[in-house]
Amino acid sequence: MIPVIAATVKVMLPLAQLPSNFVHHHSTTTCVAENRFFCADWAAHNFDRYVDPALKQALLVSVSVAVGFTVAMGLALLSHRQPKLAPTFTGLTGVLYTVPSVAFFFLLLPITGFGTDTAVIALSAYTLQIIYRNIVAGLANVPEEAKDAGRGMGMSQRDLLWRVELPLAVPEIVAGLRVATVSTVALATLAFFAGAGGLGQQIYSDLTFKTNIIIAGGLAMLMAILFDLVLLVIQRLATPWLRAGAS
């Protein structure tokens, strides 16, 4: 067997097994035994086990979106300078967006191995399309007369970009970030396939235990909402002129 894959086998074996019902064995209450809709007692006693995976997933999402944003920004600035590149970048990020993340994880395994790196690469690749598209649209929507006025005042390309174009593109850029982040929280639930743990690991560990599904799934959605709120606040703080204009 090939060394790279061999290395992954050991770690992956437990995952490859069919979901075990380990939770039931440790629990004796009738609610759990009968697998009722939601066992509040069990949830209260076992909530701890979800904290670390949730934090891990939050970190994974933050890192992935940050990487995705950096790369997308780089691509957007390149194609802003050199519009000929835009169709290529749009196509490329579109392909990365289309490839299902589970497939992406396993395509990367032989190259990057089992672990968080692989998850970050796949998740950030997935965000590129949305973020790139929004940055490009944001820059394209900057009023021509504001740019003309800037140039007429002797701003260099750089001045214009940093002082006029990017600030005015902030609303669209953050809108893209919000969509990308929320989607990434959901997708990161699958990142345990790549060895990055997270809430998905908890779900997968017992697919038939209702309370488990509700807690883990609920936490993932809650996390998406929290991320969205944080970005919304950032957006409002970064664009005071939008609210002023509306009043």
Round to whole Å and give the CA distance between 189 and 61.
10
Minimal distance, residue 134 CB to another protein, in Å: 14
Nearest 5 degrees, angle CA 100-CA 105-CA 108?
A: 120
Stretch that binds another protein, among 16-24, 39-47, 58-66, 72-80 (CB under 8 A): 16-24
User: CB burial class (10 A; 0-12, 13-18, 19+) of residue 6?
Assistant: exposed
66 vs 112, beta carbon nearer another protein: 112
One symbol per residue from 32 to 51: x for binding another protein (CB under 8 A), - otherwise; what is it?
Answer: ---x----------------
Q: Which strand (E) or helix (H) includes residue 220? A: helix 210-238
52 vs 74, beta carbon nearer another protein: 52
Q: Which of 72, 75, 109, 196 binds another protein (CB under 8 A)?
A: 109
Stretch that binds another protein, among 21-29, 70-78, 188-196, 229-237 (CB under 8 A): 188-196
Distance of CA 226 to the CA centre of its chain: 13
Closest Cα partner for 93 from 58, 149, 135? 135
74 vs 81, beta carbon nearer another protein: 81
Q: Which of 33, 55, 78, 221 binds another protein (CB under 8 A)?
A: 221
Residue 124 one-letter amino acid = S
